[in-house]
Amino acid sequence: MFRESEDYNTVTGSEVSAFGMPAGVWSASGVQRLRARDDQQLGNRSQVACYQGNSSCLPERTWKFLEAGLRQRFEALAAFLQHLSTEQRLPQFLQQLNSAALESVCRQWVLPLGDLKAQNIPWTWFGATDLVLEADGSVVVMDQDFSHPSGLERLVHQHWKSTDDAVDCIRRALFTDPVGGPVTKAAGSRQVVVLDPGFSGATFRGNEFLARCLSAQMARSSDLIVEQGEIFVRVSGERRPVGTLIRRIDDELLDPNCFRPDSLVGLPGLVRSWKAGQVSVLNPPGSGLARLRCIGRLVPLLIREYLGQEPLLESAEVYECSDAQKLQRVLAHPQHFAFRTDDPLHPARPYFGSMADAVEYERVVSRIVRSPLSWIARPLLIPNSGRRSLRLFGTLQGSFRLLPAGLSRNCQEDGGASLLISPSESISTLW
């Protein structure tokens, strides 16, 4: 059985198995077994989560296992993005996959940013991970977002008594370094700002909550000025230099001089200032690449190559629609698959083959044929009322930290859920 004192941060897959994980944990299907085996602590329950009203509780050893598995993913993705930024090409082991989707998205990522000489860029500084949890404890990673993770504010008033309590706990758990200082501290009198697309947008509430956790100031691009590479923010009629900018804008809208020139919410010159080292940007420009599903499916391979470890958490099975042979096999049995966009932040209405009619099928096939690089397919799961979608939050800056609280909600037929959580969506807490 698992021992609470085990240090899972240094454990490989085979070592965990030796500690008592059920046989077949790392099977070809990629399903991870987190079934708790300590009947005394779980009260002889067969489920990994104990449900209590509007919240659920995972045993501490399960949190430790999830923390170790997510640490692997954060570190491997950071190493991959660092390689891509400095080498300007895919690593050899990924080139051998001959993936058109992978080549395309990485080319689109490399060209605007150019060569980045800086080392130790915090690519996965803050991220949200969506997993599907079965009633028996099986768990698979569905999606991850490292560009502007959302949903943190939904923990307020569900897990803590007040917003101030939530801010204090989250700040200490995720955004404070081991000596007690903020991880976003700026030198001297430089400001820390959260770049928000607009105070009336759907994401404003979450961005405002994150700013409180980071003791940062909210700002729009119109509040910022770039002069000779320096970035200033207007505060009470004064211009103050910015040392750290937490961006809550998608990559392609972040800087019209580097990405989309028609962006109205980005800051012209931001990427150049960042590359020159005159401002720290979190999460860095380009980190949105890690949320693509064609990248997410490769994380276990990245863990093996960059970390030399066996992955503790597997990724959901994904079929790239740009691969003609895979697409042909999927379309031969569409009732067993879901079709989704490769980028979860640019969603189209998903297609679930088991529930669709002929008209919907023809419509989605037409869209896939027009833009195959934008679509992926996932196998549909066997219906199970005990299945839940979990969202966990972590940071990687020096060391990895996992917030010991998360969100739980209903998942869709393929185990996925929307990356942006609507205010009306029913949410419970996980702790």
Q: Which pLDDT does position 337 carry in this prediction? A: 93
Q: Are 354 and 380 in contact (CB under 8 A)?
A: yes
pLDDT for res 185 = 55
Q: How far is CA 220 from CA 148, 190, 249, 347, 414, in A?
A: 15, 17, 10, 25, 37
The C-alpha atoms of residue 69 and residue 63 are separated, in whole angstroms, by 10
Q: CA 389, CA 140: separation in Å to the nearest integer? A: 10
pTM > 0.75: yes or no: yes
CA–CA dist 362, 234 (Å, integer): 52
What's the token pair of residue 352?
């679930």
Per-residue tens of pLDDT for the chain, all 431 residues? 233 334 444 444 433 322 222 333 323 333 333 333 333 333 333 344 544 445 578 888 888 999 999 999 999 999 999 999 888 889 999 999 989 899 998 888 888 887 777 667 899 999 999 999 887 778 899 999 998 898 998 888 666 778 888 899 999 999 875 434 455 555 557 899 999 998 677 788 889 999 999 999 999 999 999 999 899 999 888 999 999 999 999 999 999 999 999 999 999 999 999 998 899 999 999 999 999 999 999 999 999 999 999 999 999 999 999 999 999 999 999 989 999 999 887 777 788 887 878 888 888 899 999 999 999 999 998 877 778 899 999 999 888 999 999 999 888 888 888 877 877 788 888 88
- Phi, psi of 231, deg, nearest 5: -110, 130
Determine the Cα–Cα distance for residues 164 and 160; give it in Å rounded to an integer: 9
pLDDT at residue 73 in the model: 97
Can you tell me the distance from the alpha carbon of 241 to that of 233, in angstroms, rounded to the nearest whole number? 6
| Rg over CA atoms, the chain | 22
How many helices and strands, by DSSP H and E, does the chain display?
13, 19
Report pLDDT for 415.
86
Q: Can you give the pLDDT at residue 360?
A: 87
| CA atoms in the 13 A half-sphere facing the CB of 10 | 3
Phi, then psi, of 329 in degrees rounded to 5: -65, -40
Domains and CATH numbers, the chain: 1-147+287-318+382-431 (no CATH), 174-282 (3.40.50.11290), 319-379 (3.30.1490.270)
Please state whether the peptide bond connecting residue 384 to the residue before it is cis, i.e. omega within 30 degrees of 0.
Answer: no
Can you give the pLDDT at residue 158?
A: 65
277: left (phi over 0), alpha (psi -120 to 50) or beta: left
Check residue 182 and give its pLDDT: 52
Return the beta strands (E) in 216-274 as ranges: 217-219, 224-227, 230-235, 238-247
Query: Which pLDDT score is estimated for 55?
Result: 55
Distance of alpha carbon 189 from alpha carbon 400, whole angstroms:
28
Q: Quick one: residue 129, left, alpha or beta (phi over 0 = left, psi -120 to 50 = alpha)?
A: beta
| Integer Cα distance of 37 and 367 in angstroms | 47
The residue written with tokens 């987190």 in the block is 34
Query: Which pair of tokens denotes residue 260?
Result: 């989309």
Q: Specify the pLDDT at position 186.
A: 54
Do 292 and 342 form a contact (C-beta atoms < 8 A)? yes
Residue 88 CA to residue 135 CA, distance in Å, equals 43
CA atoms of 246 and 244, how far apart (whole Å): 7
pLDDT of 1 reads 27
Q: Residue length, the chain?
A: 431
pLDDT for 420: 78
Neighbours of 358 (CB within 10 A): 7
> Per-residue pLDDT tens for 36-70?
333 333 333 334 454 444 557 888 888 899 999 99
Q: What are the φ/ψ torsions at residue 94 (nearest 5 degrees)?
A: -90, -30
